[in-house]
Amino acid sequence: MLVKLLRNGIGGLWQLGDLITRPTKMRRSAEAQTQVDAACSELALYQLPRCPFCIKVRRNMHKLNLPITLRNVQPGSPYRDELQAGGGRVKSPCLRIEENGASRWMYESNDIIAYLEQRFANVK
């Protein structure tokens, strides 16, 4: 109980810090942003709002101006069951990537950020 309280309190501070220090969004041409928006429709981030690793990924998404669907995996959420069934474990953050009719589940915040940077940073 105490650990959960501390985790939520510290997570709330991280969330507040993120809102205050959020980087500016990448600017793209309208055509390039339309391409990015279409590509992001095939992605979903399974996350917890106060998780520091999830905040790190969301900050990067904001910086890259990526409208990726966020799915909260708190206990009792249908997305939690979806993550367990599709990804094989309940761990956040997790990026679901739909490619050629198949789903790929990517865990680890640094791997997710590297993937997003590689795929979207040069689209201008």
Q: Given this model, what pLDDT does residue 10 score?
A: 72
Domain coordinates in residue numbering, the chain: 2-120
Q: Which fold has domain 2-120?
A: Glutaredoxin (3.40.30)
Residue 17 has pLDDT above 80, yes or no: no
Mean pLDDT, range 62-89, rounded to an integer: 95
Cβ-based neighbour number of residue 89 at 10 Å: 9
Q: Given this model, what pLDDT does residue 124 score?
A: 74
Q: Given this model, what pLDDT does residue 7 score?
A: 64
Q: Given this model, what pLDDT does residue 4 score?
A: 66
Confidence of residue 2 (pLDDT cuts 50, 70, 90): low
Mean pLDDT, range 108-117, rounded to an integer: 97
Comparison of pLDDT for 104 and 4, the residue scoring more: 104
User: What is the reported pTM?
Assistant: 0.86
Helix (H, G, I), strand (E, B) or coil at 112: helix
Taking only the tens place, the pLDDT of each residue in 35-68 is 999 999 999 999 999 899 999 999 999 999 999 9
